[in-house]
Amino acid sequence: MSIKIALAGNPNSGKTTLFNALTGSNQFVGNWPGVTVEKKEGKLKNHKDVVLMDLPGIYSLSPYTLEEVVARNYLITERPDAILNIVDGTNIERNLYLSTQLMELGIPVVMAVNMMDVVKKNGDQINIQKLSQSLGCEVVEISALKGTGIQEAAKKAVETAQKKKRQDSVHTFRKEVEEVLGQIMDLLDSSIPEEQKRFFAVKLFERDDKIISQMKHIPDVESLIKKCEETLDDDAESIITNERYNYISSIIKSCYQKKSRGRLSASDKIDQVVTNRFLALPIFAVVMFIVYYISVSTIGTWATDWANDGVFGDGWHLFGIGSSSYEEKAEEYDEMAAQVDAFLDAADENGISTEAVRAALEFDPKSNEGADMAEAASVLAAFQADAKNLTAAAEIKDEDGNVAKTIPVTADSFLTAAEAAEPDPAEFGIWVPGIPVLAEKGLDAIHCAEWLKSLILDGMIAGVGAVLGFVPQMLVLFIFLAILESCGYMARIAFIMDRIFRKFGLSGKSFIPMLIGSGCGVPAIMASRTIENDRDRKMTIMTTTFVPCGAKLPIIALIAGALFGGAWWVAPSAYFVGIAAIIISGIILKKTKLFSGDPAPFVMELPAYHLPTVSNVLRSMWERGWSFIKKAGTVILLSTIFVWFTSKFGFTESGFGMVEEYSETSILAYIGNGISWLFAPLGWGDWKSAVAAVTGLVAKENVVGTFGILYGFGEVAEDGAEIWGALAGSMTGIAAYSFLVFNLLCAPCFAAMGAIKREMNSAKWFWTAIGYQTIFAYVISLIVYQLGTLLTAGTFGIGTAAAIILVLILLFLLFRPYREADRKKVSVKHKNKVKA
């Protein structure tokens, strides 16, 4: 039989780092039965029969959070063979509180004092032998980050588990408490194992409802508890807490020597700057700007361009070999094309017909027969004769859209330019074909049916490829978030934001789910369960998905590229919109009866700063990225197939069947036209945009995938610019930003909706959350479009009037008095007066 070892410890104690180091890739991640708390299980390296269970990070075995309940239930009911208790050596007093509770479970315990490298660097001393004697268990020094001592800790845990020796708790409380606990233990029947009786006695003494509900026979101990409370003049729970800390203080006094007593540590000195009342927010803004600038505008964009244009486009030059030569030829060809366009435009202005010439120029010498080429040459020669006295000027623009040079064009130079062939990148250097090219060649080789070929190329590869092309950009972002999390700055962000969040009804802990939400909304919603106050937790769940997640990055990138020329400000503005939506929602919601009351106090441990390990950063990045890729390979694949089918099939005069590409008679067009009127006030009432917004409810990445299919991205995505041009031609800049805002703020994807339903644990609250998000998104998008149009174009109509009314309503809801709180204050004052 396999040996089960549970890893238990406080948050930020290094428990997960140790788990990753001991198990490597032998991990299984899921959820605990019945709840959405993450369950990590893995096999110890080189020990196939040893299973490690990474319990959620907890501060105690009291039922304050769902994580604590899950961890405690596992330890009580599953009874692992041993507990490897990870303790942060730099904050040993706080960590030993959980340790004293673990000792009472009767399960063999091995304590691993982590971060000993930092302890020694600070000049502090921990007497491991004395600590072991005081606690009555094996104690090992480790540094999970550097990998020192971890194998010894695992070996001790395995050996301790194999001995199957009961763990006796050596610590005792004061005489009055021990007498009552002894009497309670005597009243417990045989349904409670002998080694667990002290733990159950302590929990009965604390009046722990959840433990009491698990007991078959509940002895009447209330009179014993009340007598002890009267004797010690305190409530039962506080008595036990004080007794634990008195015991811990005696251990610390004999085992721990702090050199830097009264002196600031390196972490404290850094915190004086980064958590400073005035500098904290500017530093945080700079850090996040750098993260998103690198992720969205530089390295992330370069990687995404390679994925979109190369892997899911025509292909790429391996290691860039030959790319410079190709770019030179392509630039020359672009200049030739500009000369042709300029001359033809000039001909149109002078009344010379260019229709036949433009048709002739569409012939591709590589795919058309000689007769067609001869016909094209004849048309060009005739046109040259008609326009022999015509001259034109071709303007060549730089990357910023400014005219770099002007080239004069005559009839002779026009003909030379018209005969120029577009360079084939495959003829330069080492060319690697993209997935669509390889797939098309393979399908042609097996003489695949046209409809199936279209399904694979235009549906599956075009739709999913349009989404997966943004994976490199997201991976860069996830790396930076993992670094911030690993080094300890993430916890500081929560502390910094608490001062702001408290002003609109939330605590700083709400910011942690929101920050995680920049990666994915599902774990962000799940992270909200660490918020003890139920009202704060529900409000956090309702607002946390306003932060743009990784799946919304493709939408931001698409709108920025298509309508705003890749402007750098679009992405940061999307995040500021999300933050503003959270602030506005918090202020409005806290003034309702559902969310009235003060936020819970902010209590959070700030871990010491340390350099993150490459392995942990890459593991975190991969876990977040892989969840996105899996979604693209399942949900998004199925939805893009659905979009392809409904866009390719419809009802024609001859009946149901395939219709022309992206036809108005397709099933998808009928669906889109049926709902598009709803979005007309928002500026994007065309059926394609409406359908894209709806498919975004399945997965936000679908918005880009849907546009990819509807605009034929699979066939014209040589450099990704065609879909931008098509989208730019369908809506104005203000309408596009309205579209972006709606998709950022409306109800999240189905996966996140499922997480909301599980965390709310109530159909009423679930629909309240989804309804509020969708209505709020609609209102803000309408205001953005209508007032934006008024400011830019001076257009005033019914929609503008509605937007102004909505702004006034929002202002009223924001600034109205907090009457619920005022009534409570009056009530308290009245009670105090009566007492007086």
CB 52 within 8 A of CB 37: no
Q: Is the dihedral of CA 602, 604, 610, 615 positive or negative?
A: negative
User: CA 834, CA 836: separation in Å to the nearest integer?
Assistant: 5
User: CA 679, CA 695: separation in Å to the nearest integer?
Assistant: 15
Structure tokens, 561: 């590229």
CB 170 within 8 A of CB 181: no
User: CA 206, CA 240: separation in Å to the nearest integer?
Assistant: 7
Q: Which amino acid is at 298?
A: T
Dihedral angle at the C-alpha atoms of 58, 59, 63, 67, nearest 10 degrees? -10
Residue 21 known to bind ligand: yes
Q: Is the dihedral of CA 664, 667, 670, 671 positive or negative?
A: negative
Q: Is the dihedral of CA 321, 322, 328, 331 positive or negative?
A: negative
User: CA 753, CA 747: separation in Å to the nearest integer?
Assistant: 8
Question: Using N-to-C axis directions, what is the helix angle for 266-274 and 280-292, rounded to 10°?
Answer: 90
Residue 37 known to bind ligand: yes
CB 111 within 8 A of CB 255: no
Q: Assign residue 601 a region: left if phi > 0, alpha if psi is -120 to 50, beta otherwise?
A: beta
Among the listed residues 713, 697, 674, the one whose alpha carbon sits nearest the alpha carbon of residue 774? 697
User: CA 79, CA 85: separation in Å to the nearest integer?
Assistant: 15
Residue 536 known to bind ligand: no
Count the neighbouring beta carbons within 10 Å of the beta carbon of residue 548: 24
Residue 24 known to bind ligand: yes
Residue 728 known to bind ligand: no
Residue 123 known to bind ligand: no
CA atoms within 13 A on the CB side of 334: 10
Angle 503-504-509 (CA atoms, 0-180°, nearest 5)?
85
Residue 56 known to bind ligand: yes
Angle 217-219-222 (CA atoms, 0-180°, nearest 5)?
145
Residue 9 known to bind ligand: yes
CB 644 within 8 A of CB 301: no
CB 422 within 8 A of CB 320: no
Residue 771 known to bind ligand: no
Q: Is the dihedral of CA 586, 589, 591, 597 positive or negative?
A: negative
Residue 14 known to bind ligand: yes
- Residue partners of 135: CB distance under 8 A and separation at least 6: 99, 103, 111, 170, 171, 251
First-to-last CA distance in the chain? 68
> Which DSSP symbol is given to 143?
B
Helix, strand, or coil here: 508?
helix
Structure tokens, 407: 């080239």
Residue 114 known to bind ligand: yes
Residue 41 known to bind ligand: no
SS (H, E, C) 288-330: HHHHHHHHHHCHHHHHHHHHHHHHCCCEEEHHHCCHHHHHHHH
Beta-bridged to residue 651, according to DSSP, are: 656
Residue 38 known to bind ligand: yes
Residue 12 known to bind ligand: yes
CA 391 to chain centre: 57
Among the listed residues 179, 297, 299, 172, the one whose alpha carbon sits nearest the alpha carbon of residue 232? 179
Q: Assign residue 320 a region: left if phi > 0, alpha if psi is -120 to 50, beta otherwise?
A: left
Residue 35 known to bind ligand: yes
- Please give the C-alpha separations between residue 777 and each of 398, 543, 582, 679, 829, in angstroms, as whole numbers: 38, 12, 12, 12, 40
Residue 160 known to bind ligand: no
Among the listed residues 62, 55, 69, 59, the one whose alpha carbon sits nearest the alpha carbon of residue 203? 62
Structure tokens, 175: 């005489």
Helix, strand, or coil here: 196?
helix
Residue 13 known to bind ligand: yes
Structure tokens, 378: 């004849």
Q: Which residues are annotated as a binding site?
A: 9-16, 20-21, 23-24, 34-38, 54-57, 114-117
- Please state the residue numbers annotated as binding site for Mg(2+): 20-21, 23-24
- Binding-site residues for GTP, in ranges, read 9-16, 34-38, 54-57, 114-117
